[in-house]
Structure formats: C-alpha cells, structure tokens
Structure 1
Amino acid sequence: MSALIRDHDWSTTSLGPIERWTERFKLMVEQVLANPLISGLTCGPERILVYNEAAARLFGDRHPGALGRPLSEAFPDTWPVVAPLYERVFLGESVHVPAQPFDLGGGEVFDAYLTPMRDEAGAVIAAHMIGFEIGGRLRTEAALRVSEERLARALEAGEVGVWEINLATLDAWRSPQHDRIFGYEALLPRWSYDMFLDHITPEDRDSVDAGFQDAIAADGPWNFECRIRRADGKLRWIGAQGRIDAGAGSHLRRMKGTVRDITERKSSEAALRESEERFRGLVEGFGQFSWEAHPDGSIVVDSPGWRAFTGQRLDEWQGFGWLDAIHVDDRAAIEQKWRAAVAARSAVNAEYRLWHASSASWRWSNVRVVPITRPDSTIRKWAGVNIDVNDRRMLQARLEVLVNELQHRARNLLGVVAAIADRTVKRGGSVEAFEERLQALSRAQGLLSQNGSDTVEVGALVRAELAAHVDELSDQIEVGGPPVLLTARQVQNFALALHELTTNAVKYGALRNDTGRLAVTWDVTRDRRGRPRLSLGWIETGIPVDPGQATRRGYGTELIQQALPYALQASVGYVLGENGVRCQIDMPITCPV
C-alpha cells in the first residue's frame, strides 16, 4: 500500500505532490499505514481519501480507485450519511459512529471513531478514521438473541425455570418460570440462596445444602430432588441441576442451572412402587417371588425373594449369576431359552430345578417372564415371577408311578382271575366258589386302594378276610403279630390263601360251630443271610376231624401248597390232623414294618 501511495499522482489533488507534504502530515500517513485495523485519513475541504491495507481489502473493487479521490465520489451511496459527521470532526470534535452500515456488498456494519488531525498551527487538516467491522458480531448477537428467545419459550412451555447464583454474594438471577414454580405469580425483586433453602422442607434441607457445598468445593455438578413448601402453602417436589461456570473466573464464580416441578412424576413413581409392592407381596404371600431384569437380560435389581429362596448373595445373583442356582442338568437349556427370548423379545414359560437353601434340596420352579415396553415399543425391563411347583411335579411323578403300577396290577389281577376261573371250572367247582374267590381278591385290592400305597399290613389282611365270614370276632379266634407289610404282588396270592383257609375253617373246621378255636399268629424271622421273613401260623383246634372222611383236597389246598411256593418263594407246611388244620407259611418280605 505504501508503494501505491508513493506512486500516486497527488499533484492533481488539493494535497499536492508528496514532496510538498509536511513532515507532520507524512507522519500521519505512516501511522495510518502501520495500523493493523481499518484506518484512513479524509483530508482537506475536498475530503481526499488516504487509507491503509486493511481498508483496501474492505473497499473491495472500489480500491485502488478510491485512493486520492474525494470521499463523496468514492462512496456516493454513504456520503449523505457521513458528511455531517465529518463536518463535526473538521470543526474539532471527535465522533463515535456506532453500528454504521457501509454497504460494500457483504452487509458490512462498522463501529468507527473519527478524530481531528491538526497541523503545526493547530488547524484541522484531516479526519483520522479507525473502524471495526462488527457485522459478524451483530449477526452472531442477533442469532444468539433469537436462540435465547426460542430457548426461553421452550423452557416456559416445558415449565422449566432457569437460575444463576453468584457464589460470592449468593444472590441469584432467575427466569419468571423459576419463581412460578415456587408459588409466586410475578418475579420477585430479589432472590437468594437462603430464600431458596427456606422453601425446602426440613426433612430435605440438610441434604440439599450439603450437596450444594460439595459441588462448590469440587467444582462439580449439583443435582438433586427435594420437597418444597410453595409461597401458597402447597407441598411440591422439584428437581434441579446446576453446574459451576468455569469460564467466569475465580472472582466471578457463578453456578447456573434449571429447576422444574416433578410432583406428577413423583406421584406416578410412588403409585407404581405401591402397585409393585402390592404385587410382590401378593406373589410372595403365595410362596412365590418376583424379580426384574435389564433389557439385555442381565440382573441389576435386587430380589430379596430370590436370594432368600436360593441363599445367593446379591453379587452372586446379579448379572447372569442366577444361573448358578439352577440344577446343572437344567442350566444350559434354561440359559439358551432365556437368551433366545431376549433376542426375540418374547415371553418365557419354563420349569427347572432351583436350589432351596433352607431345605438344602432342589425344588421344581415354574418361571414366567414378560417384557415391559415403553410407548415406542422398546423394552424398558423384564418382569419375572417364580412359582414353586415342586409338590405338583412330585404328584405328577407319583401319578405316573401309580398309573404304571395300576396297569401292572391290572394285568396281574386279570391273570390271577383267569387262573382261578380256569382251575375252578376244570375241578368242577361252583359259581358261588368262583365268586367267593373273586370277592377275596376284591377285599385285598380294596385294602391296597384304601392305604393309598402298594403295601398292605398282614393283620389288616387277616382281619378283613375273617370279618367277611364271621359276624364278629369272638373268643374263638385269636389274631396277633407285629406290623408286617406285604407288597401288592404278594397280597393277591396271600389273600387267596387266607380265603381258602378261612372258607375251609367255616365249612369243615374250627369256625363251623362254637366249640372250635382258631389262632392266626405271625412274627418276623431272619434267614441265614439276615434277610427278613414272615412266619405265619394257622392253627385250628377243638373240632374232631376224620382225615379219611374229609381230606379237603381241592383247588384251595393246591393253591396253599403249590402256588405260594411258586409265586412267593414261600415254604408251606399244611397238615390236616384229627384236631383240625395246622398251616405254617414262611415267606420272604422286603418291608417288615
């Protein structure tokens, strides 16, 4: 720019050739050229322009034509505005021109300072201009104002109050919504931290203040929720977030933040907790327990019910540690099913064996889990409940055993009935005899059903058979022995043997009149290997019998002497003597008591 000024023909202007410029004026020009800001001289009555490189860049295509020309010719569009200002400067006044538009095609706006420059005699010969292009700043400030207005409207619409505390004085600036949250219809003239604390309920005041002091000491955030008593006396919940403005400097420390009324949210949360507690109480009241899982399927929330049942600690239960409480034979399948359900976002209904700490045993548990979703259908959490179904599973297993046992007994019983029918018919027996034998089997089956198991006590079997033929037990009959259980397989053949002995006693032996006597006694003995055996004696006395006339040989005798050894591995001693029948049955047993 110096070269352009040096080479310019100034002789055509009122300034004259450079050689005739005074040293004072040359110094003014040098100062303009050295200034990094937009700077220039408007000289003499014609307002001739001399300017520096920064001004040249600003002038754009008007440079270099504007150099050495009157301001009115170089910038005719702005001249009417600035001419009075320059008149004031040439009268000796310094003028500040704020936010002056200077249209060079880019919407430029300037803050300019015009200063009179004097010659040696004190006369004003030029106006020195220093300019600052502030268009960008003004546009930024305008955009910021628009943004702040939008933010203010958004905060008002969202009922969010804004505050800023001077940490030195503890006085605060607030938005109108802030004071409305605290129950004031209009913005108060003054607000302080102490006024804020006065609104907080006594139960929450200390913890809120402690959080504020900690935030100041650590230059950290201040986030809290508490109850306040509004100016109108209403009790409300508020939530606030604050942060220290690190850019304000240590001597101007401020904390800025927001506050909003969260009473409705707190009420909803309390209602939800109450509902969940009622549900949990109802579930656990039935011997069950509930739990929650993260959307990814991991456990993050405590379940006292689960831990009380399994004995797991909280750290053992969280994550996927709950799998360790499941029986190893069920664990892999349950984990696979659970992960597949989480991936598919589908409910789970499964059963597995779960460790029961108080009984130190595995118990069957039914687990049902459903996803709890948000309005946008994303999963918020999983809610699960475990139901102890061990009794049902045990009952099912027992029913399965009973069905199989029933089928087995039915096949055996049908085989026995068929054998009785075959032998009775072949021996020319009567229908009545066949029916009586079936009734004996029926009584034995009735005892099995009555006990609800697959065993019958020997005494019950003996007494039931005798009661079917004798109106009531009298001094004629002696029955006695320790408790001994027979299995279902043993009962059928043993009952038939008792039936044959009883029938013969009623027809021919000790029970045919009042003079006879019958003793049925038994005991438990041991064989050479120490295994238990039933030893039962049937002894009839008091009735003379002629063995030659009443041999009593038939199916019944054959059953006692041949079928029992074959079917029950029994040893049988059967003697029909002059005084009545003596029968000794000795057979292995599996459950003596």
Structure 2
Amino acid sequence: MHQSSFPEVSAFHSLLNRTDWAGTPLGEIAGWPSSLRANTGMMLDSLVPMAIAWGPERVLIYNEAYTRLLGEKHPWALGRPVEQVWPEVWSRVGPLVERAYAGEAFHREDIELPIERGGRCDPAWFSFFYSPLRDDTGAIAGMSSTVIETTSRVQAEQDVRRLNHTLEERVEAATIELRRSEAHLRSLFGQTAAGIAETGLDFRVVRANEKFCAIVGRPLDEVVGHPLDGLIHPDDRRENTALIERMLASGTPFEVENRYLRPDGTEVWAAKMVAPIVEPGATRPTSILAIVIDITARRRAEISLRANAERLRLATDAASLGIWSWGADDENPTRENERLYDMVGIPRDGAPVDTVRLLTELVHPDDIAPYQAAMARTLATGEPFRYEGRFYRASDHALRWFEFTGALHCDDRGRPRRMVGTVLDVTERKEMDEKLRLREERYRTLLTSMDEGFCVVELVHGADGTVVDHRFLEANPAFERHTGLLDPVGKSARDMAPSIEQHWNAVSAQVAASGEPQRMVQQAAARAAGSTCSLPVPTKPRATRSRCCFATSPSKGAPRKNCARWRPTCRKRTSARTNSWRPWRTSCATRWRRSGPGWT
C-alpha cells in the first residue's frame, strides 16, 4: 500500500495516490518537491482540464477533467512522458512545451489537433494556457497546461461560416437567377409575338407590352392605369367579367376567345389565356395575367370558309350534285353530302359502301370494266376522273345513269392520296337523248323517203346588207332530184347554179325580215322541167335560215297551166305533210336550233 499524499476526496484522488509513482522518474509522492505537490493539489481541485509536465522527462500528471481529453489513454497516461501520451500531436504540441520549459507563459486558441478517441482519430480544437513551474530552488522544473476543448464551438462556428457561405452563395445565385429571370421576363414581355397585360384585382391594367397595345389599337399611356373592360367589346364584357370572377374564386386559369374594340370601331378577335398571380406568402391571387394572341385573320378565314361551304352546299343541292371522296389508304369511296344518300338509295345510318359492295351490288355488270379502267387511268396519269355508267339504286333497285367527275390529289412524291369529285344523276337526260335519237331517226327516214324536196339554207348578205345568195346547210335526196343540184350541203346557190334568179334571194330576205312563211309556185331556171313550190319558215325576226319544200310539175311546156292544175294537189299534199310533221316538229326545231344562232 502506498502512502497517500493527497486527500482522497474523489475516486480520481484515490487513483492518483495508488499509482506506482516509484516506477516513474518522479518517485514516490512523498519525495516530490513541495512546489510540485502544491501545484498538483491545486490542479486536482480544478474543474478545468489541467496537466503538469515535470522534470526533464516531462512526466505527465493531470486532473479528472483532463481525462475527457485522454479518452482510452487514461489511466495509462499517468506518470508517462508527454511525448509518449500524445505522439499523434507532438509535432505541434512539442514546440509549445519547449517554450514553457524555457520560461515563457503564453496561450494559444483553437488549435486543431487530431485526437485518438473512441478507436478513431478525429480532428479536435483546443485552447492552451501554458505556464512554467519552478522547483523549491526557484529553477524551472516543469510546466502547467490548462486545456479547454473548443471543438464544439469551433465546429459550430465553422458550420455557421459554411452555412453563411452557402447562404451567400445561394443568395448570390438566386440574385443572379432573379436578375436573369427579370431580364428574360423583360425580353419576353417586350419581344414576344403575344400581347401580355397584367391587371390588379380592380381590373385596371398595371403593365402591358407593345404587342398588347398594338392589338387593342391604343398607345401605352391609354392602356396602363385604365380599366380592362373599357378595351373589350361591349357584347363580350359580361362573359369576360364572369370568367375572371370564377377564376379568382377557384384559382384555375381559363382560355377564351372574344373581341377587343379599337377606338376607330374595328373589332379585333383575340385568343386569351388568363391566369391568377399569387405572390409568395399569399393565399389568394394578388393580380391577373393575360396572354393575348390576335386571331382576327383566322376568324375571318373561318367565316369565309363556312360561307364558302354553305355556298357550295347550296350550289350542289341546286344542281342535284352528290359529292364523294376516295382514299388511297382503304381504296373505298366515301359519301360527303346528303344528296349522295338519296342518289344511291342507301340509308344515312346504313353500312358504308366499300369497293367490293360498289362493284357487286350497285354498278351494272356491263359497266364494271369501264369504271375500273377509268379509275386506273386517273391513278396512273393523274388526269381528271370521268365516268358515265349505270347504277342500281339500293332502295328500289331502279337502274339509274350516273355521271362521275373527280380530281386526284397526290403527296409531295406524286403518290395518290385522295380523290374528290361529284356525281350527277343523268337518267332523265339519257332518256331524253334516246327519245331525240329516235325522233332524229324518224326525221331522217321521213326526209329521205318523202317525194318533196327539202332544204335548210343560210342567207348570205352583201356589203350593202341585201341578201345576195344563200348557202345550203341541209338537203334531202328529193331536193337533189328536183333541182339537179347534187351534194349541195355547204355550198352556195350561185356556186352551183350561177344563173339562179335573184327573186329567190328576195323572197328569202322578205321571209327573214317579216317572220311570215310564204308559198310560191315557179319554174326554176336552173332546171327547165317542172315547177317548184317553196315554203320558207323562219322561226324569229331577222332570221338567217329558212326551211324550203319543193315539188316538181309533170309538164315542162306549160308551167302556168300545170301549176293551175296541180295547185289543189299541192295544197292537199302540203296539208297532209304538215299534219304528219307536227309530232316531230319539236325534235326538228331542236336540231335546227343547234345549227346556228338563227334558230331557237
């Protein structure tokens, strides 16, 4: 048992007394110099971490508070040289110890030292107060060190500095971003193609860009500070106000198309996106932002397009035209208007007509090949689609004639994409053409077989306006037999009979001027035998064409007597012919009407 030199007021005091000091350069406590015992006693009573290094070996003595710095090195460190206890920091602490041993008292604050604690080496910060210690002779024999660990404070200060630095960086970055955003916003606000306006909750404009002012047709000073309602068309104000109030209540932006009214009375259509602006920390909108695009041209184009579509519908309905389209993707026809439903006899809610159904159910079997050939020709050459054929109407299976026309639309590479066209029901026209063909056939048969000569002539006028000749436009075989004028069509009377009497032209001119038909019986000088009966019949005043009927007399030696004897016969034959011509007179008139402007 060692002799105790210090009062055992604590467990640490007892530990210090039981330490084998005899095995250290200091020896037993009883042999310590009084100055060392006094300083050690004062150190043991201190609550501040303190240590003493004594002797040339710098033997370490420390108090209980110092053990927090030593960690696992306690109690091994008691009585050992300082250099052995703190090898990891001796390169920095050693010079300080030497200064104290040299008689200098000083302090150092917040020295960073790597300290081994808890099985690892961590950085720590300390403030040191060094004082030299003298022995009983007054010579410097050691030093005392008061150590205050400042790791928590230093780390806190470092954290604060780092935080401040981070905050400064963030503030700087935010400032830069804010400036960039403001510059971007100013650029966007001033240069965007859209009009931008901001209003307060009182609907007065706070700011607006030049494009917005151009849209509403007012300078900036007549926009900013003025109510937005004053810029909107009166007919649209109520709706606009209701939408804004609904947005402020719900916080949901909205889009709308309405009109602004310029000072000159011009209406400007605009598409607007309106959104609430909520400032940071606020719970309700503080202002209103509107982005405006001028769509006047688009609206006018839409109105024009609708008007054109309506005119097209009226035109196609008036013309009884069906409109169809054909797509290259499915190669099926599509009905594009209501008229086509009626023409093909398919219900509006019925199954669509594809190509297979079109060819097997609707197109007449004899017209399938022409239809396919016309379609193939258009697709191959790009020329307009034209086809006329017979179709069975689905509703009553009636056979109808349809006339198709269409235009092919191709892509940039010239590949067929779509064909759009019209269809016209030409059944009545076909039936009329057939009737006209039959009447024309009967007309030709009658003219060819009749005994009287018949011709259609065109009057030829001289420089003074008088009729000097007539040109034959049509003549039947009997006319050639009676007159001896062979193949007269296209030739003039004087070309074929230069000695023809002028009174023929005079009579034709009189008929053309009066519009009244005339009969005459006279021997033709161009043909010595017989007499001729002429019946010119113009159809309107100042006509240039006449119809003539001729009959020959049986005696060339006594024309006047023969004329008197044959006059009753001529009347009967003429009456009979007139009665027989009445059924097809319309047909003849139609045909003559096509011959030129003199007939209607």
Which TM-score band applies after superposition, normalised by the shorter structure? 0.3 to 0.5
TM-score of the superposition, structure 2-length normalised?
0.46
